[in-house]
């Protein structure tokens, strides 16, 4: 049932979960989970609602303390490391970020440099360059002096990513970055992230709810069900009819995406199962 890529051919993993159990109250949402995030690749975590994928990401992002087990960054338990130190390696795009009123794009992206300012840190040219680069990469340079509040949804999401980029981290975690975006912007966003991964080698871990987009953009796919990994590996290995049925409870066919040649899930609904003459 579990499809795993052979571990010895995987690149080194800087971020990993080891026997990780996470929960908010007494029940465990993620149970005894092991995950090694392949370095320099795009990892996507998928699963049905309430399977624990957001919780897992939050655990990896140091937002949630493990009940048992640990999250390791470069071999060290992430919770024992100072927050600022972690922030220099791990960037995060949270699910519902708040844009303070009246803040300009340049200002907001600049705040991403905070982890690099020591106790008495001042703003340096290095910071300026990081911000400029982040804005350029996300194609938001033209919006630099605009107020974030007044931007469209797609533009705002790009600005938040720019802020995470300005943080200058090797790893980037994103919690459902494409929710609230329309399809065109979703693809645009994922293209941007893929670009980032290709150009800068940023390790990306994200939670996506769209299985087909996940199959298209992921190097490494992790399918969760009730807090445990059901399948893990390349999209071709993971996105099979059997796995999709187990994880999503959906009758389906898997075909080849004519554009990207990654697996494409075609749902089979109740009506499609009826013979054509029977459909009224």
Partner 1 sequence: MTVTVDPGPVATQTPTRDAVEVVRRARRGPVRHRRRLVGGLALVVAAAFAARVLLGDYTVTIPDFLRILGGEQIPGATYIVMESKLPRAVLAVLAGLAFGVGGAIFQTTLRNPLASPDIVGVSLGASAAAVSAIALAGWTGWPVSAAAVAGALGVALVVRLVAGDHGGFRLVLAGIGMAAAMQSVIQYVFTRVDEYDVQLVLRWLTGSVNGVAWSSIGLFATALVVLLPATAWAARSLEVTELGDDAASGLGVGRGRTDLLMFLAVLLVAVAVAAAGPIAFVAFLSGPIARALNQGRTTLLASGLVGAAIVLVGDYAGAYAFADLNLPVGIVTGAFGAPFLLWLLARGPLNGHRGRRAA
Q: Site residues (CB under 8 A) for partner 1?
A: 58, 61-63, 83-88, 90-107, 110-112, 114-115, 117, 120, 125, 128-129, 131-133, 135-137, 139, 141-142, 144-145, 148-157, 160, 164, 167, 173, 179-180
Shorter beta-carbon distance to partner 1: residue 91 or 233: 91
Using the minimum distance from each CB to partner 1, give the nearer residue, 88 or 228: 88
SS3 255: strand
CB 72 to partner 1: min, Å: 18
Least distance between partner 1 and beta carbon 247 (Å)? 26
Query: Please, what is the minimum distance in Å from the beta carbon of residue 229 to partner 1?
Result: 24
Look at residues 191, 92, 98 and name the one whose alpha carbon lies nearest to residue 148: 98
User: What is the rounded distance in angstroms from the CA atom of residue 248 to the CA atom of residue 47?
Assistant: 7
Specify the residue, 174 or 230, whose C-beta has the smaller distance to partner 1: 174
CA distance 203 to 83: 19
Residue 48: CB minimum distance to partner 1, A: 22
Rounded-to-integer distance, Cα 137 and Cα 155, Å: 13
| For partner 1, the closer CB: 83 or 272 | 83
- DSSP for 20-83 reads EEE-SSSS-SEEEEEEEE-TTSEEEEEESTTSSHHHHHHHHTTSS--SEEEEEETTEEGGGS-H
**Residues 22/55, Cβ–Cβ less than 8 Å:** yes
CA gap 143, 163 in Å, rounded: 13
Q: What's CA 67's distance to the chain center, in Å?
A: 22
Using the minimum distance from each CB to partner 1, give the nearer residue, 126 or 242: 126
User: Using CA atoms, how far apart are residues 151 and 247, in angstroms rounded to an integer?
Assistant: 37
C-beta closer to partner 1: residue 114 or 209: 114
| Closest distance of CB 191 from partner 1, Å | 10
For the CB of residue 129, give the shortest distance to partner 1 in the complex, in Å: 6
Angle at 189 between CA 183 and CA 195, to 5 degrees: 135
Report the nearest approach of partner 1 to the CB of residue 251 (Å).
32
Cβ nearer to partner 1, comparing 87 with 264: 87
């Amino acid at each position: 049932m579990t499809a795993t890529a052979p571990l010895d051919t995987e690149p080194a993993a800087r971020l990993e979960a080891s026997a990780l159990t996470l929960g908010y109250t007494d029940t465990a949402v993620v149970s005894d989970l092991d995950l090694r995030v392949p370095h320099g690749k795009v990892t996507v975590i998928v699963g049905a609602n309430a399977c624990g994928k957001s919780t897992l990401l939050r655990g990896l992002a140091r937002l949630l303390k493990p009940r048992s087990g640990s999250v390791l960054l470069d071999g060290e338990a992430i919770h024992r490391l100072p927050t600022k130190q972690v922030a220099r390696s791990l960037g995060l795009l949270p699910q519902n970020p708040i844009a303070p009123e009246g803040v300009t794009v340049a200002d907001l992206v600049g705040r991403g440099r905070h982890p690099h300012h020591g106790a008495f840190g001042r703003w340096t040219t290095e910071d300026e360059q990081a911000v400029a680069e982040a804005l350029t990469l996300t194609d938001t340079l033209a919006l630099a002096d605009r107020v974030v509040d007044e931007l469209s949804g797609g533009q705002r999401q790009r600005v938040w990513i720019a802020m995470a980029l300005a943080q200058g981290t090797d790893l980037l975690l994103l919690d459902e970055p494409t929710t609230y975006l329309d399809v065109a912007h979703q693809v645009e966003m994922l293209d941007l992230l893929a670009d980032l991964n290709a150009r800068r080698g940023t390790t990306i871990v994200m939670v996506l709810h769209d299985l087909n987009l996940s199959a298209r953009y992921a190097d490494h796919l992790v399918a969760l069900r009730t807090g445990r990994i059901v399948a893990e590996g390349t999209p071709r290995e993971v996105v099979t009819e059997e796995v999709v049925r187990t994880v999503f409870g959906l009758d389906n066919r898997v075909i080849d995406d004519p554009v990207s040649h990654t697996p494409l899930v075609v749902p089979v609904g109740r009506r499609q199962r009826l013979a054509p003459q029977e459909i009224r």
